[in-house]
């Protein structure tokens, strides 16, 4: 057996995003610095602290899958994932799974839970109150639930449902995982999928993530945490990572899915290779429930581990004078804390060289897709490597004086690059970083 580490490449990508449902049109819009952040349409949020979001529109999942009846009534997060997975699979040219060994194909998603059906919950809860007007009788609650709560919808909320539906859609029977580490989930999924393939658990894996928290209790939850922007008078400029007057993240939704293969497997079948996962690092803050460690301890460790895994020395320029990575896809949420600490952590990792590495956040345009954010950003990194151009961080008119790295403000930039780094840090303290390279 060869001890050489198996190389893991990407041969298919797909996404369903607030800016569109196919790779190339969304990519062009990102390069143009466009955005689609508008008042919430899915429910009446006019009196909420935050009234807007980045929303998937005009999306019909049944047009993507081979047979919608196979899937019953999937939840919205599953609908996003099915469309993205079908795009990615078709691009990979792997054909039907029947031609491959289905036990050698796995799935590792970072999918969030499904949509909580607020209207049905409130009806059920209110109908089961006792005489005091608020104490719930659980027997009455159970009986009311039958009237108001859609049983299929409730079961489809399980976080493993998107992966299960994808396995059904594609006929996949190898190892299947779903991880849920909040905003870090799909980056972690991709890293762990690569780790599984390196040890030989599968030849092909479907990875990425999907999520929507665009429902009453989701928006309520983040508003209570005061984590979201409340720039209700100007939603289009609300997501402003690294700018002085940033005031929180903008909720997005959607899915990004990739097809990963061992390089040998991809080469043997003459597949078009879009890039390679060359490094993965993961850490836990183990600090506080709500706050990131003030020195960026965890994020720095994740970056350092990923660089080490890729065989890169963060302190050393290459022979051609370039930094070891030529681009950083920031977690860049537009919250005061994240953007500050991510900047700090990058400087800690790269020292003075950090100033020479462009670092942008597509969340400025797309919003924050929570569990799916890392996958969508990973896909964007592949497109950057392909086209040698970096989309801008928009709404960066007034830089934060403390944040002095090169965030590629407002206008895209053409540049030569072959290696980039993508960060995702989750509520709860999970930090994950991937190194992505051109093959």
Partner 1 sequence: MTSYGETDDGKLHYRPMTRRVVISGAGPISALGVGIDDTWDAMCEGRSGLKPLTCFDPGAFPCHVGGEVDPETFKVRNVVPKSYRKAVKVMCRDVELAVGAAVAAIHDAGLKTPGVDNEDGHVIDPDRMGCQIGSGLIAADVQELTDAFVTSLGDDEEVDLGKWGVTGMENLTPLWLLKYLPNMLACHVTIVHDCQGPSNTITCSESSSALSLGESMRVIERGAADACLTGGAESKLNPLSYYRQTCAGRLADSSGLEVNDVVRPFSTEANGTALGEGGGLLVLEAKDNCDARGGRARAELLGYAATQSCDHDGMSATAEDIAAAIQNALHSADLDHESIDAIIPFGCGIPSVDAAEADAVEAVFGERAASIPQVLTVPFTGNCNAGNGAIQVSIACRCLETQSLPARLNTGTIDRNLQVGPAEARDAQLSNILVLSASQGGQNTAVILGKIS
Answer for which of 54, 283, 329, 346 binds partner 1 (CB under 8 A) is: 283
Structure tokens of 158? 């399980």
Cβ pair 12, 258 in contact under 8 A: yes
Answer for which of 38, 42, 141, 269 binds partner 1 (CB under 8 A) is: 141
- Which residues belong to the active site? 183, 331, 368
* 140: contact with partner 1 by CB under 8 A: yes
Residues whose CB is less than 8 angstroms from the CB of residue 371 and which lie 6 or more positions away in sequence, other chains included = 110, 111, 112, 180, 182, 183, 185, 186, 209, 210, 211
Beta strands 389-390; 419-425: pairing state: unpaired
Stretch that binds partner 1, among 136-144, 235-243, 344-352, 409-417 (CB under 8 A): 136-144
Answer for which of 20, 75, 159, 323 binds partner 1 (CB under 8 A) is: 159
* 321: contact with partner 1 by CB under 8 A: no
Spatial distance between the Cα atoms of 180 and 368, rounded to a whole number of angstroms: 16
Beta strands 327-329; 359-360: pairing state: parallel
- Which letter, b or e, does each residue of 76-98 get, where b requires 16 or more Cβ atoms within 10 Å of its Cβ? bbbbbbbbbbbbbbebbebeebe
Task: Collect contacts of 312-321 with beta carbons under 8 A, ≥24 apart.
Answer: 312/279, 312/419, 312/435, 314/349, 314/350, 314/351, 314/353, 315/350, 315/351, 315/353, 317/353
Instruction: Report CA dihedral (60, 63, 66, 70) to the nearest 10 degrees.
Output: 30
Stretch that binds partner 1, among 132-140, 328-336, 349-357, 359-367 (CB under 8 A): 132-140
* 224: contact with partner 1 by CB under 8 A: yes
Name the residue nearer to partner 1 (CB basis): 174 or 391. 174
User: Site for partner 1 (CB under 8 A): how many residues?
Assistant: 101
Within 90-129, the residues that bind partner 1 by CB under 8 A are 101, 103-104, 106-107, 113, 116, 118, 121-126, 128-129
Stretch that binds partner 1, among 181-189, 376-384, 386-394, 399-407 (CB under 8 A): 181-189
* 68: contact with partner 1 by CB under 8 A: no
Structure tokens of 79? 């609908």
* 355: contact with partner 1 by CB under 8 A: no
Answer for which of 58, 69, 131, 138 binds partner 1 (CB under 8 A) is: 138
Minimum distance of partner 1 from residue 355's CB (angstroms): 28
Stretch that binds partner 1, among 82-90, 195-203, 381-389, 412-420 (CB under 8 A): 195-203
Name the residue nearer to partner 1 (CB basis): 37 or 45. 45
* 290: contact with partner 1 by CB under 8 A: yes
Answer for which of 24, 46, 131, 321 binds partner 1 (CB under 8 A) is: 46
Answer for which of 181, 243, 335, 424 binds partner 1 (CB under 8 A) is: 181
């Amino acid at each position: 057996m060869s001890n050489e580490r198996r190389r893991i490449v990407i041969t298919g990508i797909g996404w369903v995003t607030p800016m569109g449902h196919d790779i190339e049109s969304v990519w062009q819009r990102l390069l143009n610095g466009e955005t689609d952040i508008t008042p919430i349409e899915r429910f009446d949020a006019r009196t909420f602290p935050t009234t807007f979001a980045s929303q998937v529109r005009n999306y019909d999942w049944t047009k993507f899958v081979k047979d919608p009846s196979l899937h019953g009534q999937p939840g919205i997060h599953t609908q996003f994932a099915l469309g993205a997975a079908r795009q990615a699979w078709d691009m990979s040219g792997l054909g039907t799974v029947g031609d491959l060994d289905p036990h050698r194909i796995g799935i590792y998603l970072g999918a969030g839970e499904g949509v909580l059906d607020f209207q049905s919950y409130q009806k059920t809860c209110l109908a089961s109150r006792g005489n005091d007007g608020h104490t719930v009788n659980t027997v009455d609650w159970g009986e009311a639930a039958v009237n108001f709560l859609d049983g299929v919808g409730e079961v489809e909320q399980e976080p493993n449902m998107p992966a299960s539906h994808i396995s059904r859609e594609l006929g996949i029977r190898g190892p299947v995982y779903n991880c849920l580490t909040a905003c870090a989930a799909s980056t972690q999924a991709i890293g762990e999928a690569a780790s599984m393939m390196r040890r030989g658990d599968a030849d092909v894996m479907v990875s990425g993530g999907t999520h929507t928290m665009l429902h009453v209790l989701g928006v309520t939850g983040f508003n209570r945490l005061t984590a979201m922007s409340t720039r209700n008078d100007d939603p289009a400029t609300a997501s402003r990572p690294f700018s002085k007057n940033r005031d929180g993240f903008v909720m997005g939704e959607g899915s990004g899915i990739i097809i990963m293969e061992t390089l040998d497997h991809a080469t043997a079948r003459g597949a078009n290779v879009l890039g390679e996962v060359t490094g993965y690092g993961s850490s836990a803050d183990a600090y506080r429930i709500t706050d990131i460690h003030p020195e960026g301890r965890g994020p720095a460790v994740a970056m350092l581990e990923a660089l080490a895994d890729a065989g890169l020395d963060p302190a050393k320029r290459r022979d051609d004078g370039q930094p070891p990575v030529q681009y950083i896809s920031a977690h860049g949420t537009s919250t005061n804390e994240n953007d500050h600490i991510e900047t700090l952590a990058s400087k800690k990792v790269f020292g003075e060289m950090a100033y020479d590495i462009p670092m942008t956040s597509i969340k400025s345009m797309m919003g924050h897709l929570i569990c799916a954010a890392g996958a969508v950003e990973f896909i964007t990194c592949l497109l950057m490597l392909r086209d040698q151009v970096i989309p801008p961080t928009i709404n960066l008119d007034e830089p934060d004086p403390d944040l002095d790295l090169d965030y590629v403000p407002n206008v895209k930039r053409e540049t030569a690059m072959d290696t980039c780094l993508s960060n995702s840090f989750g509520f709860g303290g999970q930090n994950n970083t991937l190194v992505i390279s051109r093959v």
